[in-house]
Amino acid sequence: MNAKEILDKYCPNALCREVLERHGHAIYAMIEEICDKHDLKPDFSFLQRASLLHDIGCVRVRSPRMGCYGSLPYISHGVEGAKIMRELGDEACARVCECHIGAGLSREDIESENIALPPEDYLPQSLEEQLICYADNFYSKNPLQLEVRAQWQEIEEEARAWGPRAQSRLQALHEKFRL
């Protein structure tokens, strides 16, 4: 299935479908800018697909403002998305789903900050994983602000909740990809 067919199949309503598609386009557009500026040559067709699908796990969490009425907490959307994409046989997209929270989370971060996720390493490694992870920080899924790019200072502030190691990983991504 292509990305839009997967959104059609899994999104419970038009609001959720619209949020995921517009959010995906916003992220992909930023990634194109980053790659242009830093002369990077990632797999753009994979990035287009993964931008649209990295948040597919939202369909299983509770986030009424984006039309998601599942039972799980929002933080679970990465690992849940990975389950969906593995069921569909797409390991590469599954990796993007589970590694895109903040600047990625390690087992150590999860244990020391008491983050409600199975304690494993969810760290973006490939260029494509890192690009989606970085760009995703700049865009919310608030339906009224989907195309509004956040300021780096706001993102740094929010990253404090993830603990010092995750913060320094985010800083490292910023050094690599900043616009």
Where do contacts with Fe ion occur on this chain (CB under 5 A)?
55, 136
Min dist CB 23 to Fe ion, Å, is 6
Coil, strand or helix: which one is 69? strand
Min dist CB 54 to Fe ion, Å, is 6
Buried b (16+ CB within 10 A) or exposed e, 42-68: beeebbbbbbbbbbbbbbbbebeebbb
Query: With respect to Fe ion, which residue has the nearer C-beta, 108 or 170?
Result: 170
Q: What is the largest CA-CA distance in the chain?
A: 42
Query: With respect to Fe ion, which residue has the nearer C-beta, 52 or 110?
Result: 52
Min dist CB 80 to Fe ion, Å, is 13
Instruction: Give the residue closest to Fe ion by C-beta.
Output: 136
| Nearest Cα to Cα of residue 59 among 92, 83, 33 | 83
Query: With respect to Fe ion, which residue has the nearer C-beta, 26 or 110?
Result: 26
Hey, what amino acid is at 98? E
Q: Which long-range contacts (CB under 8 A, 24 or more apart) does 169-172 make?
A: 169/102, 169/103, 169/104, 169/123, 170/102, 170/103, 170/134, 170/137, 172/103
Min dist CB 41 to Fe ion, Å, is 23
Query: With respect to Fe ion, which residue has the nearer C-beta, 98 or 136?
Result: 136
Min dist CB 132 to Fe ion, Å, is 8
Query: With respect to Fe ion, which residue has the nearer C-beta, 58 or 110?
Result: 58
The enclosing H or E element of 25 equals: helix 14-38
